[in-house]
């Protein structure tokens, strides 16, 4: 902890403008040295971080409401993660699990098998990124079912590799110019209630009818290997499916021998006030894909699924040099221990209450906020031209920029680029969260 900034308190503190002079200089080198294809949410260079505070090289302390896109739920440089990583890096750094196995890979899989929904026998596979985990889930589902078609949804996001670009909905910036894309991927309607044209009262059933009609008539259910869905869509704009939709999809999958895959890369690990978001409606997926929050910031991802599905692949059909690297596994054990011991599921619900009520208050005051949605510590506001549902990208950019200038980092999202999303570390203090929300209020007042 001394290595971090925990000697300072968790508080927002600005000593220069954002960006300060040192960041401005350093960002010139960024432009010179790094690919222009990379984005940047906030123009500062980070020196240290702890829990929900980022310290930049100019000495500014910024409140982190993004957790590095939903990764540092347990806090940045969380103590149990740091301790276990140091111990592991001194013990050994790499063998490759498929060359010479080690215990902490096995322990992470045991934990995942136990903590994911369903009492059936489960097995896991570890890889490096969310996209790689999604790719492996698709590989395994195809191998198991001996079918090829994959059904995905409007507004979905599953990654940036070739297959996962095909699975992802939004063209710009993710797919533009990067084709051709992988075949046998079929996109079906998503019940996005805020923009749904039909009756809200019957949205869930109407959407299920549309999806199953498309599958039955255009693909053939017997050709579908997997239905893949984020239980709350992340990059798409925190779109929460209406009640009943996920259970109905799971049932349709079961009835038709289709592997039901939940992509919990963004929703996983206590984020939504459940360990996994599918638990809200008691849905038990055949496979569950995790990444981000699994290891407190180290690169790790996993596929956890029914033993008979996961074991259907021939030996050496799955793998990779770094998948389940021992240092990342050590971090995951530290992160999982933190989730349990600090009861981060309950903490996410508590954050959800503060966040939800504050955002709803703001929505009453500022008609530019069209909708507040999400669950637990995963909530967002969709910005519109007042009185309409037309996207207001300009307002989104202005709000984000204002927050940054005051030392609050918020992320954006949305198919229509008009969503401000909140993914705070689950260990953020109430005071820090309330301070950040008061800045957000000022941001809307300044519009």
The binding site for ligand PLZ (CB under 6 A) comprises: 69, 129-131, 134, 157-160, 230, 234-235, 263, 265-266, 291
- Least distance from C-beta 234 to ligand PLZ, angstroms? 4
Question: At closest approach, how far in Å is the CB of 414 from ligand PLZ?
Answer: 13
Which of 126, 368 has the CB closer to ligand PLZ?
Answer: 126
CB 4, min distance to ligand PLZ, A: 24
If the CB atoms of residues 274 and 384 are measured against ligand PLZ, the closer one turns out to be 274
Sheet holding 408-409, edge to edge: 46-50, 53-56, 61-64, 408-409
Nearest to 125 by CA among 109, 145, 139: 109
Of 62, 59, 69, 72, nearest to 20 by C-alpha is 59
3-state secondary structure of 404: helix
Minimum Å gap between C-beta 121 and ligand PLZ is 26
Nearer to ligand PLZ, 68 or 75 (CB): 68
Query: Which burial class, exposed, middle or buried, applies to 375 when counting CB atoms under 10 A from its CB (0-12, 13-18, 19+)?
Result: buried
User: What distance, in Å, lies between the first and last C-alpha atoms of the chain?
Assistant: 40
Nearer to ligand PLZ, 57 or 69 (CB): 69
Q: How far is the CB of 132 from ligand PLZ (least distance, A)?
A: 7
In the complex, least distance from residue 249 CB atom to ligand PLZ, rounded to whole angstroms: 16
CB of 276 to ligand PLZ, least distance (A): 12
Write the DSSP string, 330-356: HHHHHHHHHHHHTTHHHHHHHHHHHHH
Task: Report the residue closest to ligand PLZ, judged by CB.
Answer: 130
Task: Give the chain's length.
Answer: 447
DSSP state of 280: G
Q: For residues 139 and 160, which CB has a smaller minimum distance to ligand PLZ in the complex? A: 160
14 burial (CB, 10 Å; 0-12 / 13-18 / 19+) is middle
Which of 174, 194 has the CB closer to ligand PLZ? 174
Nearer to ligand PLZ, 104 or 266 (CB): 266
Strands (E) located in 162-258: 185-188, 224-229
Q: Order of strands across the sheet with 224-229?
A: 122-127, 301-306, 287-290, 259-263, 224-229, 149-153, 185-188
3-class state of residue 178 by DSSP: coil
Task: Report in angstroms how near the CB of residue 266 gets to ligand PLZ at its nearest.
Answer: 4
Of 265 and 351, nearer to ligand PLZ (C-beta) is 265
């Amino acid at each position: 902890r001394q290595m971090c900034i925990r000697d300072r308190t968790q508080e927002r503190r600005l000593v220069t403008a954002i960006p300060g002079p040192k960041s401005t200089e350093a960002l010139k080198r960024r432009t010179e040295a790094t690919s222009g294809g990379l984005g940047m949410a906030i123009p500062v260079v980070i020196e240290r971080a702890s829990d929900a505070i980022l310290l930049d090289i100019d000495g500014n302390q910024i409140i982190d409401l993004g957790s590095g896109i939903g990764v540092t739920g347990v806090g940045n440089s969380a103590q149990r993660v740091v301790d276990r990583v140091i111990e592991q890096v001194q013990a050994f750094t790499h063998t490759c699990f498929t060359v010479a196995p080690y215990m902490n890979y096995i322990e992470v899989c045991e934990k995942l098998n136990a903590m994911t929904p369903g009492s059936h026998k489960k097995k896991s596979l570890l890889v490096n990124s969310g996209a790689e985990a999604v790719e492996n889930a698709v590989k395994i589902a195809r191998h198991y079912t001996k079918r090829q078609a994959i059904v995905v949804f409007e507004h979905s996001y599953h990654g940036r590799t070739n297959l996962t670009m095909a699975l992802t909905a939004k063209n710009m910036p993710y797919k533009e110019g990067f084709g051709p894309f992988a075949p046998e991927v079929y996109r079906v309607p998503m019940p996005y209630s805020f923009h749904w044209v039909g009756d809200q009262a019957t949205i869930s059933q109407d959407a299920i009818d549309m999806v199953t009609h498309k599958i039955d008539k255009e693909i053939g259910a017997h050709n579908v290997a997997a239905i893949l869905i984020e239980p709350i869509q992340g990059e798409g704009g925190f779109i929460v499916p209406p009640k009943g939709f996920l259970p109905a999809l799971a049932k349709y999958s079961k009835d038709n021998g289709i592997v039901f895959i939940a992509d919990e890369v963004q929703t996983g690990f206590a984020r939504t006030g459940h360990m996994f978001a599918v638990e809200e409606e008691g849905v038990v997926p055949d496979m569950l894909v995790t990444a981000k929050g699994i290891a407190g910031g180290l690169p790790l991802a996993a596929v956890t699924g029914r033993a008979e599905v996961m074991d259907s692949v021939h030996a050496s059909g799955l793998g990779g040099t770094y998948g389940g690297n021992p240092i990342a596994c050590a971090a995951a054990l530290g992160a999982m221990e933190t989730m349990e011991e600090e009861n981060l599921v309950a903490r996410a619900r508590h954050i959800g209450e503060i966040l939800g009520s504050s955002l709803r208050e703001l929505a009453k005051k500022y008609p530019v906020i069209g909708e507040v949605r999400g669950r637990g510590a995963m909530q967002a506001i969709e910005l519109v031209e007042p009185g309409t549902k037309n996207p207001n990208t300009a307002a989104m950019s202005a709000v984000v920029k204002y927050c940054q200038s005051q030392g609050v980092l918020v992320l954006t999202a949305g198919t229509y680029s008009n969503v401000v999303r909140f993914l705070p570390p689950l260990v953020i203090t109430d005071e820090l969260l309330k301070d950040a929300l008061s800045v957000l209020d000022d941001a809307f007042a300044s519009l």
